[in-house]
Chain A
Amino acid sequence: MSDQQYYDVIIIGGGHAGTEAALASARTGASTCLISQNIETIGQMSCNPAIGGIGKSHLVKEIDALDGVMAKATDRAGIHFRVLNARKGPAVRATRAQADRQLYKQTIRGFVENQDNLKLFQQTVVDLLIVNGVVKGVKTQLDVIFHANSVVLTTGTFLGGLIHIGMESHTGGRAGDPPSNSLAKRLRELPFRVDRLKTGTPPRIDARSVDFSQLEEQPGDNPRPVMSYLGSIEQHPEQRMCHITYTNADTHDIIRKNLKRSPLFSGKIDGTGPRYCPSIEDKVVRFADRDQHQIFIEPEGLNTQELYPNGISTSLPYDVQIALIRTIKGFENAHITRPGYAIEYDYFDPRDLNFSLETRFIEGLFFAGQINGTTGYEEAAAQGLLAGSNAALKAAGKPLWHPRRDEAYLGVLVDDLVNQGTNEPYRMFTSRAEFRLLLRQDNADARLTQMGRELGLVSNVRWDIFCEKQKKINELTQMLAEFKIIVGTDLANKFNKITDVKISKDSDLLTLLKRPEVNAQHVMKLIDSPDYNLVGEQVEIQIKYQGYIKRQQAEIDKIDRQEQVVLPPELDYLAMEGLSNELREKLAYVKPPTLAKAGRIQGITPAALSLLLIHAKKIRDMS
């Protein structure tokens, strides 16, 4: 006899996308159930034990601004924190932390178990219930039926997962866990376009077998950054050291001699791997002139001896892995605890999604994470948050949302995926964001928290802190603008003493803050209002970037205008005269919902956009 259960939203999968999705849905008040094959692996970091980095910490701070948990969990589990690009200016500055895997998982589990409206259930989902193109729920292995208005699929690499070590291969969703093959089969029956991607991991190493005296040390930063705006370094556990070593000519010789035993080079793997994270065998072949490659040795946690040697992911056979590892300085006697492997998995063409991450073919069904062709915990979590909140909005009959490219990296991510699709695992980089100067770590809250509040995602605590911060920023800006410095006065002398800048005409502190030699600390000393010290840097960034931001505003205005032009789905692109065949096909494939989105399709011209505009107008006038 089958059991029946009723929820607003079902989340399938408990990885980084699944947990943020479930938490976001529950935060808005929707009754939510997270179904995972194995509750013990909720919040598991399957790849390297690090959160953040360039482009990625931008996403983490956005998740934080919407009250998601990734940043909070990083502060409770991080054992090594650094600020990247510290010398390059605030827009491209990023935070990265090594995390203790166990602590991270426990922290996420804690958030999930303590969230109101959220239940957990351990079981493999084998089928989706779909009636007339609308999702109605899911069925599990034991024939338990979960009825729901929305379902979010966050199955990671588990759909049709195939693990390769050398010429051996076996099915699996991650080393040690089975894949979800019946669900993969069911999804392949639906009209989604499916393809294969590939990713890899390095062998893990036992720290007791490593000679650390041979390795370069890489300490965390001092002062130590935090990930969440609400976080503090008091939350951080004990900190650990990272290390750096290098491959050498001997390592490369071994790899070259064994290429025929690599599934990558023998043609056994047909999924596409990422260009930016090649396996060590790829690096050796493609950059043959390099005599060494860098390896970052990351501790897996406080209570484990395992190390993650980042930079040498490989799918070579185990015996080759041992041989190549032992050529590396410090690893001469290394013991491999887990062999490295490559994994191939199904992903669904994200061009079959709406910008809310709801699928176009099945109403109420949402996809988030690696299933959409992305890689990385941060990319997955950000999508999870978006899909989860939209699944809840959908269940409540409310309009769905998504941020735009000028509002968030999450907006860039979704827009790139849905508009352009991807043929390699998609990872975020700051160079993907044309409004990079606007999309900074430090203003993620200013860009998103109010929206999050309206959607019901943001708690009272964060909202109050946010409002206070914005108020202080406005007050300080005002204060500095009114703080006049008159040439020849004591104040001018004091300013000169602090900044080493001699002013030649009367001015105010806000204007003076624009100058390269003047910084927030200088002006804070002059106004002596310690209440505002925390927002000083914010005001400085805003005023220093002002000219550029104004320039970007013109571009944003244009997008605003074009976003208002809805392209009706019945537009027949294939029959449109005056477009190249290639463009017709691209447009027909993507079916962009607005003129702005059509404008970002590669190869589109202003003339082609005008044509779309006019055809849209024709359809609108006729209906």
Chain B
Amino acid sequence: MTSVNSDRTTSGKLKYASGIETDTIAAIATPAGKGGIGIVRLSGPEAQNILVKIIGKKITPRYATLASFLDQQGEKLDRGLALFFPAPHSFTGEHVAELHGHGGPVIIDLLLSECLSHGARLAKPGEYSERAYHNNKLDLVQAEAIADLINSASANAARAAARSLSGDFSIQINKVAEEIKNLRVYVEASIDFPEEEIDFLTEGQVSQKAQKIVSELKLLLISSEQGVLLRDGIRLVIAGKPNVGKSSLLNCLVGFDRAIVTAHAGTTRDSLSESITLKGLPITFVDTAGLRTTNDVVELEGIKRTHEEIKKADRIILVRDASIKNRALEEELEELNLIDNSDENKKTNDRSDFFGRLLLVNNKMDLIGENLPTINISGNQSVINISALTGAGVDNLVEEIIQLVGYQQQTVGFSARRRHIESLNGALTALELGISQLNTMAAGELFAEDLKCAHMHCGDILGHMSSDELLGEIFSSFCIGK
């Protein structure tokens, strides 16, 4: 199937059992959990070299070695255990190195970015298992377990990415991506349709426009490195009918822990969010407009926003008033327009995803006056009984929340942000190279290549545009038709 190609070059990279060259990938390999220990795992030919650069010494393979983790300036980031598993006796069959740190999410993220600065690339979802597969390291049971994990992890990651893109960041990155696309439409059209009467940009204009995008990207990078525009952490939405005690619950949770990070009114008229650190895990609670059938325009808008919040949430706390007679859960959910009970929708992913995120709370236990167990099981769903007024049972709720969110914290939120920054950096580097090609070599086709590369990096954040869609843009912008 292959043929000779005199342009292909072989670099001096290592080759593995499959005979294929690979690069080195890195990712946070562990859930945060309550212990707060995080592992950064590297896999690939450079794994050992990068490990040596970070801990400053070589270590004995397969022995846990205590070491300080240093940044490029030699500053200590953390102290923990380092391990090295030489190929092929490792999880992926490649050289694998692990850094077991003691720091919280922020330190682990710094450690990961340290690995990236030494030449590793951020692993894509499922990439470790893909490599393990290629090196015949996966057995059937493992493969199935990993398939399940990818199922849930990709849904979580998608939510985290969607959320981190909200607000200003989303607007700005969309703007830059749009400008890159428009420039590509011109450049590609001038390459593919040189004979058409198209008012193409002159080379000077092209380079000027590209330069403007570079400045915008730089600004965007500064803001996102500072975390100004990106919002991470777990997002819990408190939802339910009006007057079931949602706001009281929020107040109660806020009071439970004194480490309030920020408290600000939400962008919506009726949503209020509070970011809280519960036992070291940053969590945002969102109080929403009560759900019910109404014709009031303002209230309808609030309800619409509640539904949007629910879509983006990692977990939905559905609050019900225990002092009144409630309908069956499914009926109530349908009444609130949260699920669709029609037959064709009963088995959809959306529905099982919704139930997977649902946490049921019965409020106003103080009014009942009975000593109900704090957690009981109704159907498949566990229910937590509380009184937001007296605070009874709220500690159970906090425990439950921490258990639920503990796993996701670092793996999802931080890597989503790290990935965005990586992508923006990639786009910037490509654009700068392209501009220099255009200015020094007048090489339009190389500029086009770099511009495509920058567009791809933006696509990693926003979704990719196929070459056919780009052609569609060209045909709708220019009248082409020889």
Contacts and interface: CB of A to CB of B under 8 A. Distances in A.
Contact of B192 (A431, A437, A443): A431
Nearest to B445: A89
A505 interface: no
Contacts of A438: 5, 7
B147 A578 contact: yes
Contacts of A84: 194-195
Given A431-B467, A607-B125, A54 B192 contact: yes
A91 B479 contact: no
A618 to B, nearest CB: 6
Interface string A579-623: 011000000000000000000001001111111011101100110
B9 A549 contact: yes
Contact of A89 (B143, B446, B479): B446
By size class, the interface of chain B is 35 or more
A275 B472 contact: yes
A613 B137 CA distance: 13
Interface stretch (B127-135, B266-274, B300-308): B127-135
Contacts of B482: 277, 294, 296, 310-311
B481 A278 contact: yes
Interface string B211-232: 0000000000000000000000
A436 B445 contact: yes
A621 B4 contact: no
A473 interface: yes
A412 B150 CA distance: 31
A243 to B, nearest CB: 14
Interface in B457-482: 466-468, 470-472, 474-475, 479-482
Contact of B8 (A54, A416, A451, A553): A553
A535 to B, nearest CB: 11
A551 B453 CA distance: 10
A451 B4 CA distance: 8
B143 A617 contact: yes
B2 interface: yes
Contacts of B7: 438, 443, 446, 542, 545, 549
A86 to B, nearest CB: 9
Most chain A CB neighbours (cut-off 10 Å) among B3, B195, B453, B466: B3
Interface string A29-61: 000000000000000000000000011000000
Nearest to A82: B195
By size class, the interface of chain A is 35 or more
Interface in B1-51: 1-9, 11, 18, 20-23
Contacts of B472: 275
A490 interface: no
B467 A283 contact: no
| Chain A contact residues, majority secondary structure | helix
Interface string B119-150: 00000111101100110001110011011001
A542 B11 CA distance: 16
Interface in B88-123: none
A20 to B, nearest CB: 19
Contacts of B4: 446-447, 450, 470
A86 B21 CA distance: 36
Nearest to A293: B479
Interface in A527-576: 542, 544-546, 548-551, 553-554, 556-557, 560-561, 563-565
Contact of B191 (A54, A311, A561, A606): A54
25 contacts: A54-B191, A87-B442, A92-B444, A275-B472, A276-B475, A283-B481, A296-B195, A430-B191, A430-B192, A447-B3, A542-B6, A551-B453, A561-B18, A578-B151, A606-B124, A607-B126, A610-B130, A613-B126, A614-B138, A614-B146, A615-B147, A617-B143, A618-B140, A618-B144, A621-B140
